[in-house]
Amino acid sequence: ANEGDPNILNLPAWSTSLGQPVATHPYGMPSKFEHQLVRRESPGLARVGGASVSFAPLQGLFGIITPSGLHFERHHQGWQDVDPTRHRLMINASDDSLLKKSKVYTMDELMRLPSVSRIHFIECGANTGLEWGNVAVPTVQYTHGMLSCSEFTGVPLKTLLEDCGVDYKKARYVLAEGADGSSMTRTIPMEMVESGEVFVAYGQNGEMLRPENGYPLRLVVPGVQGVSWVKWLRRIEVGDMPYATKDEAVHYIDLLPNGLHRQYSSIQECKSVITTPSGGQTLVAKGFFNVSGLAWSGRGRIKQVDVSFDGGLNWQTARLEGPVQNKALTRFNINWVWDGKPAILQSRAMDETGYVQPSYGQLRKVRGTKSIYHNNSIQSWKVVENGEVTNVQVL
Ligand code: MTE
């Protein structure tokens, strides 16, 4: 700030008077000065908001947890605020030999059972889907904002299936079904359930789930694309083969260059993005910047993130803010001194399996340009002399 800054010389009235009482807002709200940091719907994406998506404002978030009020939303047929006293979860089987008995649980019954709390990212398979062929949207909110990360609390699905007497030798899949009008149904392989990672969640960031995110019950399928995280979860059917429902046979499939479709490609591969600075922002002046971003992998932990300031010619290793968690967002930071000249910022993540996030050139060679889902390419942000940052693609 300049010498003689009135903001330091003159005391504002509020600092010499009584502040507002406790519980003025029984449920706390963000500062009124933060009103721009909100979920946004991309104009023209869907005809009705009830079948659309709102994107999380990644450019303004710190650390790895998405505040529940800013968690992205994707509804196929709108959201409801469901009465938890009337909500039920039914567990049954496609064949009597797979399960000893079918059961119906109330929320009270579920909440008595041994619970787990785990931090996981959820990413829609269509995240970055608009960018397959070319640059389409200006900001990280729209390129990558179908991504959020919360601490979820609930009961491992394994506990419920075992309570119903599942026969793991015969029962190899489950079908998860939502209670909303979209008939959202997804097949989950039993290995994921048996590993204990899949759970039915009622908690999100220390409180009950938000209605938009499936209150009072949703499925958490760590590492798997968002569509399998069925909201308003009402039924789990145990089966012995994949169900090929509409949302796995026709949607959420990958069109390949040879014209064939790839199905059940549900794991979200390793990906990262620089969130600050990012498209639509302007660097205030040359000099020091903390460049910050997010990395994640559906296959486990992030091992390393490298950052380039010259469009991929040279790379430097960023600092990972620990603890680095399994199938959760990982925050990375790196120091940068901007010399005022044009630059292209990129991040490239590697996960614990050794898989390295691909460039657009590498990804398109295998996947073509006509896909919607599973674009995990390296994102590039171009900085020009006046400090403006824009979305560009580098092969
Ligand atoms: N579950 C039901 N019942 N209905 C839905 O429309 N949308 C799915 C999934 N679960 C959906 C659903 C999709 S496509 C995604 S990406 C995630 O929920 C989004 O979860 P969120 O709205 O909590 O971000």
Residue ID of nearest Cα to ligand 1 atom 21: 73
* Residue 320 CA, ligand 1 centroid: distance in Å: 29
Most informative mutation of 128, 144, 229 for ligand 1 (most atoms within 8 A of CB): 229
| Cα(225) to centroid(ligand 1), Å | 10
Over residues 338-346, the mean pLDDT reads: 98
User: Residue with the nearest Cα to atom 23 of ligand 1?
Assistant: 213
> Which of the 8 DSSP states describes residue 360?
H
Nearest ligand 1 atom to alpha carbon 226:
16
Percent of the chain with pLDDT over 70: 99
Cα 229 to ligand 1 centroid, rounded to whole Å: 6
Instruction: List pLDDT tens digits, range 108-150.
Output: 999 999 999 999 999 999 999 999 999 999 999 999 999 999 9
Which atom of ligand 1 lies nearest, measured to the CA of 77? 6
What is the C-alpha radius of gyration for the chain, rounded to an integer number of angstroms?
A: 23
- Tell me how far the alpha carbon of residue 273 lies from the centroid of ligand 1, in angstroms: 23
Tell me what the mean pLDDT of segment 205-209 comes to: 98
Instruction: Quote the pLDDT of residue 47.
Output: 86
Domain boundaries, the chain: 88-262, 271-392
Distance 227 CA to ligand 1 centre (A): 5
Query: What average pLDDT score do residues 303-310 get?
Result: 98
Q: Which pair of tokens denotes residue 170?
A: 């015969």
Distance CA 166, CA 203 (A): 26
Residue 201: what residue type?
Answer: A
Whether the predicted pLDDT of 45 surpasses 90: no
Rounded Cα gap, residues 293 and 299, in angstroms: 19
User: Phi/psi at 291 (nearest 5 deg)?
Assistant: -90, 130
Sorted by sequence, the CB contacts under 8 Å of residue 172 that are 6+ apart come out as 189, 190, 239, 240, 241
What one-character DSSP code corresponds to residue 326? Answer: T
Strands 88-93 and 233-239: parallel
Dihedral angle of Cα 194, 101, 201, 120, to the nearest 10 degrees: 10
Q: Tell me which H or E stretch contains 116.
A: strand 116-123
Q: Can you name the CATH fold of 271-392?
A: Immunoglobulin-like (2.60.40)
Buried b (16+ CB within 10 A) or exposed e, 289-322: bebbbbbbbbbbbbbebbbbbeebeeeeebebee
**For residue 76, is it left (φ>0), alpha (ψ between -120 and 50) or beta?**
alpha
| 12-32: pLDDT as tens digits | 999 999 999 999 999 999 999
Extract long-range pairs of 36-41: CB within 8 Å, 24+ residues apart.
36/60, 37/70, 38/70, 39/70, 39/71, 39/72, 39/73, 40/141, 40/142, 40/145
d(CA 364, CA 374): 12
Measured from CB, residues less than 6 Å from any atom of ligand 1 are 71-76, 122, 124, 178, 180, 182, 184, 212-213, 226-227, 229-232
Is residue 346 within 8 A of residue 312, CB to CB? The reply is yes
Residue 1 has a pLDDT of 62
- In this prediction, the answer to ipTM > 0.95 reads yes
Which protein residue has the closest C-alpha to ligand 1 atom 8?
227
* Cα gap 371→150, rounded to integer Å: 28
Residue 76, helix vs strand vs coil: coil
Specify whether the CB–CB gap between 71 and 46 falls below 8 A.
Answer: no
Best residue among 41, 68, 74, 120 to mutate for probing ligand 1, ranked by most atoms within 8 Å of CB: 74
Rounded-to-integer distance, Cα 294 and Cα 347, Å:
9
Decide which of 1.10.1040.10, 3.40.1160.10, 3.90.420.10, 3.40.605.10 is the CATH code for 88-262: 3.90.420.10
Q: Which atom of ligand 1 is nearest the CA belonging to 178?
A: 3
Mean pLDDT of 370-375: 94
Three-state DSSP state, 103: strand
CA-proximal residue: ligand 1, atom 10 (nearest): 230
Asked whether the beta carbons of 101 and 164 are under 8 A apart, the reply is yes
Per-residue confidence band for 341, with pLDDT thresholds at 50, 70 and 90: very high
d(CA 369, CA 395): 13
From 53, 58, 76, mutation site for ligand 1 pocket: most ligand atoms within 8 A of C-beta: 76
**What does the pLDDT look like over 155-184, one tens digit per residue?**
999 999 999 999 999 999 999 999 999 989
